């Protein structure tokens, strides 16, 4: 069975190849591709595979764009980290879906399902209802804060989320610090902000700071396996990542 893997995370590529090699099927991975652009080019220049393993979010956008740019009738098994409710659409628009982290038993079941469909109906052809899938993804996508308001004297100031460098808790107050080093007191705790901010853009460094990756100027190793962050704008106190939180922080940085 010739398969194509479309996945933008090298670790996920290698793990899927390992799981495929451990399956009961004779599988040849033709290529691992990490972007919409390269996927379109590859499919134009090569013979269609028998099956595509397709991640939803690629390095340059949603993988559905592939099917908007080129006609592909190859059966698809989605690999996705989306929650179960959002991926109900994938059930009716593909052979199957695999929720990350992928388990061997789930992969085997998906391959058996593909084989069963092929044997029952002959050459399988899949038509993806892209509008339905994308609409469901929009409906179920979490809504994060896009701006804040702060009182400056008798005035009310609004701050766009893209202008935020970090949040700092001090003396029972939370300050919003912008990239231009403007400081505003806001009516949220850091615990509340942790649930309101996009986790891809913001990270709870410790009990006093929630930061953006753009605000990090320098990362240094620190005593007791901790990390020391130097931020822009600069802070008066040290911003430290605890030893326990270092793996989570590095994973966030590597997104």
pLDDT in tens, 209-245: 999 999 999 999 999 999 999 999 999 999 999 999 9
Among 8-12, 117-121, 139-143, 170-174, the minimum mean pLDDT is found in 139-143
What is the average pLDDT value for the chain, to the nearest integer? 86
Reported confidence tier of residue 85, pLDDT bands at 50, 70, 90: very low
The token pair that represents 12 in the structure block: 């996920």
Q: Which pLDDT score, from 0 to 100, does residue 139 have?
A: 47
Of residues 40 and 57, more confidently modeled? 40
Strand 57-58 to strand 61-62: parallel, antiparallel, or no bridges (unpaired)? antiparallel
Q: Is the pLDDT of residue 136 over 60?
A: no
For 200, half-sphere exposure in the C-beta direction (CA atoms, 13 angstrom radius) is 5
The token pair that represents 174 in the structure block: 């939370």
Give the model confidence (pLDDT) of 143-200 as tens digits: 789 999 998 888 999 999 999 999 999 988 999 999 999 999 999 999 999 989 999 9
Alpha carbon distance 147, 163 (integer Å): 9
- φ, ψ at 204 (rounded to 5°): -80, 100
Contact 199, 145 (CB under 8 A): no
Q: Is the pLDDT of residue 44 over 90?
A: yes
Reported confidence tier of residue 141, pLDDT bands at 50, 70, 90: low
The token pair that represents 168 in the structure block: 């700092």
Among 18-27, 53-62, 180-189, the minimum mean pLDDT is found in 53-62
Q: Which pLDDT score, from 0 to 100, does residue 28 have?
A: 95
For 22, half-sphere exposure in the C-beta direction (CA atoms, 13 angstrom radius) is 12
Contact 204, 190 (CB under 8 A): yes
Rounded to two decimals, the pTM is: 0.50
Q: Residue 34: which residues within 8 A CB-CB, separation 6 or more?
A: 6, 7, 8, 9, 13, 58, 59
Reported confidence tier of residue 138, pLDDT bands at 50, 70, 90: low
Domains in the chain, CATH or no CATH each: 2-140 (3.40.50.2300), 147-253 (2.40.50.1020)
Q: Which pLDDT score, from 0 to 100, does residue 232 have?
A: 97
The token pair that represents 254 in the structure block: 């590597």
């Amino acid at each position: 069975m010739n398969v194509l893997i479309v996945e933008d995370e090298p670790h996920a590529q290698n793990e899927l190849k390992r799981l495929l090699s451990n399956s009961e099927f004779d599988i040849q991975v033709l290529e691992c591709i990490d972007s919409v652009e390269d996927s379109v080019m590859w499919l134009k220049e090569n013979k269609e595979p028998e099956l595509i393993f397709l991640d939803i979010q690629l390095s340059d956008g949603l993988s559905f764009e592939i099917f908007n740019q080129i006609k592909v009738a190859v059966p698809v098994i989605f690999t996705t980290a989306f929650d179960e409710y959002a991926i109900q659409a994938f059930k009716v628009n593909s052979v199957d879906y695999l929720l990350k982290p992928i388990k061997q038993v789930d992969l085997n079941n998906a391959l058996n399902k593909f084989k069963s469909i092929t044997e029952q109906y002959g050459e399988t052809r899949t038509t993806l209802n892209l509008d339905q899938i994308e609409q469901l993804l929009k409906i179920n996508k979490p809504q994060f804060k896009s701006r804040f308001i702060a009182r400056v004297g008798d005035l009310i100031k609004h701050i766009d989320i893209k202008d935020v460098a970090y949040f700092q808790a001090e003396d029972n107050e939370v300050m919003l610090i912008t990239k231009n080093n403007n400081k505003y007191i806001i009516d949220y705790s850091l615990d509340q902000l942790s649930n309101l901010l996009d986790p891809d853009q913001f990270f709870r460094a410790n009990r006093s700071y929630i930061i953006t990756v753009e605000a990090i100027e320098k990362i240094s190793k620190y005593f007791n396996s901790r990390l020391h962050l130097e931020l822009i704008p600069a802070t008066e106190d040290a911003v430290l990542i605890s030893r326990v939180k270092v793996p989570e922080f590095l994973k966030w940085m590597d997104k």
